[in-house]
Structure 1
Amino acid sequence: MTDHRVFANVKIYSNFAEIIQPLGKLPLEFSAEDWSDIRSDSITLIGSNINITQQTITEKKQSLNNLQIYVRSPSSSNTETKFLRATMIDENRNLVKLIDKDISKEAIYITVQSDHIVYNDEPSQSKYYVNFTYDTTDAVYLSYLRSNLNWKTRYQLNLFEESKQAIIIAMADIRNDGKSKIDIEHGELIGGEINLRMFEQHRSERYEIREHAVMYAPANAHFSTTSSPPTVSRGEELAGLYLFSINQSFSIDGKTNYLLPMFRPQVTVERYGLIRKSFFGVTANSNGKAQRSYRLSSDRFLSRGNCIIREYDHLVGETFLPDLAANDKHDFSVGQDSDIIYKENITLISSRTYNQTIQPASKEFEERTQSVYFINLLLQNFKKNRSVKVEYKQNIYARSVKLTVNNAGFIQDGSVIKLTTTLSADDEKSFSYRIEIIH
């Protein structure tokens, strides 16, 4: 087993990496450790003019049959353990041949437990061999997917007073989950959603708790061609995905996270208090607090990743950012704002039940209920030194919804009633509207 890997061209995705390198001597040999990280049905040859006529994948392991070993004697007791020299006859059944004078003077055959066998040398592991026959007149490259190399984006969003530009710091977190060091001559990070999965039949050890290192750039100057650390490009769109090129070679030790600074996008962040309600047609009084919410947009694509949020150099929460297109907006909340309070009262004004035919000229009908509700809303801002923007959204679950009376700037968006307002410091406002719904 080797403890070092050199890959020519690596395209790293969120849950796997594609390895592309010039085809070496056939057949290709992979250790059991390597093979456990490889999706075997992804191994192929690529080139501008190649015709693969045959491909074989073979598992080979040096047989233990006829090997001289030691086994725990059948006549061993709980207080005394004896080991006897034996010959492995059938490794699949752990059938061995030995002479135990306490049992017989002649050779006997027994099956033994695996933990009762002692080997003189370390037993060999399986190796996997991949072979091709092909026709081509051009250069040929080997391509396959590995599950032990992946990446994600880490963000830190720094917010200040409203007049000051928000700052978002993006880091590419590349993870080598294997045991061996990896040298990458040319790497690309792929952002966006791709419908490929890695098989996990050999990866049960991924779910064990284990220590790992975090390596910040520069990670290994010996493999780099220059003394400066690698950098990540701003990203280019391709088929709905985004490619972030790494400008030079780099290395990652086994069980290590390698963090590279990415581009610095220009972002705008709007802060507001969000009140989100759901109405199913039941009258009630309710009250609560607004959610501390943010609306973020960027001048360039942001790949999905965890984001830690700071305001005025203090941690205030974290969220997960999805893949976000340039200039698109993403809304998220990180907890309650105890200073922004709402009180809502819903009153039933009228209700009637009637029959509605299912189709024209049909005798079949369904029963419908039409109800009219009056909603009164009180918003309070208990902050003593600043105003706040508040957004109210009432999701109404009914067959149809109609906003009939509105004295405060409410709008209807499908089945959602919305209001946007600003509360001055230590201020409160009352609003009301009426809706007609059909169940």
Structure 2
Amino acid sequence: MLSDTGPVVANFTELRIYPSFTEIRQQYNAPKNFKTYFARDVYSNIVQGSLSIEGIPIESKQFVSKANNLENQTIFVRRSANESPHECRVIQGDDLLVQDLQTKRYFHAQRNELEYVTTPEQVGTEVLYVLKQQGKATLSYRIGGISWSVQYELNILSEDCQHTFQAFAEIVNGTKQEYKVDRVEMLGGDVVIQRESGLKRRRSRSRSRSRSRSRSDSDDAAEEDEDFNSCTPTPGIQSEDELGGLHIYSIDQPFALLPKATLCLPFIDATMQISKCLGLSLQFTTYTQIRKLQRKYRIESVDKFLPGGPLTIREQGRLIGTTTLPEMSIGDKHTFNSGQDSDVSLNRQVKLISKERHSAVYSVHLTFKNVKSTPVKFEYEEIVDNDNEHFKVIPKGSDDQRSQIQVTANGIEIQNNTNNTLAANGGEQVYEYEVHIHYIKRSNSYKKNCRRI
């Protein structure tokens, strides 16, 4: 028969860390009258309504607030390390007004100066469950303050994009509570939880300044600390499976997640495909432009799902930029611009060929030039599409030039391939095309509605 008196110690503790909250799951050999206690700082982080018992039906649940009321109790106050403690009686518990029992004088003490005759009652909340029967049960609840994220580091080692790619998972415990856990799951993906008003209210309370308090550890807790301190190996992260659109990663060994601390561990070993070139994307205009091309890096995940997170990119050890990777499934690509290259330019000349009331024809002449001492690859995109017009693009020039201009639904593209290479020391590539624009006629009723808006 399990005892019905006093809190019961958890046999197994698991943290499931989602993108926006954490679920704590603790397994117990629970008596019929199951009692658990939460310190004030912990309880303030619990999402209202998320406390539940799994495994045994609940007959009733009761929440009892516990206050640390020291009034009329005898304590000892040590004002400095060089003097003996003074035996005192607490007059007011709120501001710790005490009376020295020897001198009969009154003064205000500090919490860190107190020594207790008996174990002080903690400030917090006690939850009492009446279960249908005793047995194995799991207590679960959701909290804020514990999160996880991924950071990536990419180092490009050579011009042909040989590289190293590293991923690190950071588990952040922003609470004041230490969690001794047996297992951790980190879940990547989108989880929709309706925001409870109680969570916001409790979080605001948790931000308020709380008084420090002393705590006396029992012998059982000391033995438990010793068990966890013996777990010296660094926890390792295992990639598990996909469940309902969520990707699950786990740590299957005990460790302590310290309060206000960050634990950083090597994450998944992913194979990446990296390419780089120079490129530019412009909106169609009817005037001449001279622009510098942008340095572009294209990243593709070959064999792993990648959770979103910040990426630091270095080339031969030099920092060349940072970006934020979105969530990337296998085969997804992400293009990152790292600033302009002053040695590679575009001279875009535009000439009006004809114009009527509702249409116009423009000739566009592109000249790409490279003054580097090495050849470079490049790509270009021009967006012509507009809600107020229809357009048609007709490539001009030689057969080779026309074949490199790809007409798209939005405009034109000159894609990065072996033909689109600018030779070193002043190498140029020239492209020409015509843009035929037909402006959409709007009815009088449409114009009136626009004026009203």
Give me the TM-score of the superposition, normalised by structure 1. 0.72
Aligned partner of 1:182 in structure 2 is 179
**Distance in 2 between residues matched to 1:207 and 1:312, nearest whole Å:** 48
- The equivalent of 1:413 in structure 2 is 408
Residue 269 of structure 1 deviates from its aligned partner by 0.7
Structure with the largest fraction of helix: 2
Query: What are the ranges of 5 or more consecutive residues in structure 2 without an aligned counterpart?
Result: 1-9, 75-88, 96-106, 115-119, 210-224, 397-401, 441-453
Aligned positions of 1:16-415 closer than 5 A: 16-23=21-28, 26-47=34-55, 50-52=56-58, 54-61=60-67, 126-135=123-132, 139-163=136-160, 165-196=162-193, 199-203=199-203, 223=228, 227-279=232-284, 282-298=285-301, 299-353=303-357, 369-394=358-383, 396-407=385-396, 408=402, 409-415=404-410
CA RMSD after TM alignment: 3.7
SS at match of 2:51: strand
Q: 1:376 to 1:185 in 2, by over 3 A?
A: same
Change (3 A) 1:399 1:136: farther
Deviation, 1:400, is 4.8
* TM-superposed deviation, 1:302: 0.8
What percent of counterpart residues are identical?
A: 27
Deviation by residue 1:12-45 (Cα, 9 ceiling, x = unmatched)? 1233221111145633221111022221222222
Change (3 A) 1:312 1:322: same
Q: Shift of residue 86 of structure 1?
A: 12
Q: Which amino acid aligns with 1:61?
A: A
Q: Which has the higher strand share?
A: 1
Does the 8 A contact of 1:192 with 1:241 survive in 2? yes
AA aligned opposite 2:157? F
CA distance in 2, matches of 1:347, 1:7: 75
CA contact (8 A) 1:185 1:248 kept: yes
The structural deviation recorded for 1:188 is 1.3
Counterpart Cα distance in 2 of 1:349 and 1:392: 22
Q: Residues 185 and 249 of structure 2 are in contact (CA less than 8 Å); yes or no, is this contact kept in structure 1?
A: yes
Q: Give CA deviations for 1:35-63 in whole Å, capped at 9, x if unaligned.
A: 2222122222234xx54454444545367
Distance in 2 (CA, whole Å) between partners of 1:133 and 1:253 is 32
Aligned residues of 2:11 and 2:26 also touching (Cα < 8 A): no
Instruction: Kindly provide the amino acid, as one letter, of the partner of residue 309 in structure 1.
Output: I
Instruction: Give the Cα separation in 2 of the matches to 1:168 and 1:120.
Output: 52
- The alpha-carbon deviation at position 88 of structure 1 amounts to 7.3
Alpha-carbon distance, 1:436 to partner: 2.8
C-alpha distance in structure 2 between counterparts of 1:250 and 1:39, whole Å: 25
Q: Hey, what's the Cα distance between the residues in 2 that align with 1:286 and 1:398?
A: 23
Helix, strand or coil for the counterpart of 2:182? strand
Q: Answer yes or no: is the 8 Å Cα contact 2:52–2:140 preserved in 1.
A: yes
TM (norm. structure 2) is 0.70
Match of 1:423 in 2: 422
Shift, 1:399, TM fit: 4.1
Find the aligned partners of 1:153 and 1:293 in 2 and give their Cα distance.
Answer: 23
Describe the shift of the 1:184–1:285 C-alpha distance in structure 2 as closer, same or farther (beyond 3 A).
same
Q: Is the 8 A contact 2:66 2:121 kept in 1?
A: no
Distance 1:319 1:40 in 2: 36
1:10, 1:184 within 8 Å by CA — same for their partners in 2?
yes
More off after superposition, 332-341 vs 54-63? 54-63
The separation in 2 between residues aligned to 1:28 and 1:137, in whole angstroms, is: 15
Contact 1:6 1:183 in 2 (8 A): no
Displacement of 1:304:
1.0
SS at match of 1:41: coil
Aligned-pair distance for 1:320? 0.7
Q: Partners in 1 of 2:229 and 2:326 — Cα distance? A: 32
Matched residue type, 1:247: D
**2:19 alignment partner, one of 14, 18, 32:** 14
Paired letter, 2:406: I
Taking the aligned partners of 1:87 and 1:229, their CA distance within structure 2 comes to 49
Q: Distance in 1 between matches of 2:12 and 2:383?
A: 54
Deviation track 1:160-211 (CA, whole Å, cap 9, x = no partner) reads 2244532210011111112233222101111122223683434457799xxx
2:169–2:266 contact (8 Å) kept in structure 1: yes
Aligned pair in 2 of structure 1 residues 290, 134: CA closer, same or farther (>3 Å)? farther
Deviation at 1:373, TM superposition (A): 2.8
CA distance in 2, matches of 1:348, 1:207: 67
Name 2:451's counterpart in structure 1.
none
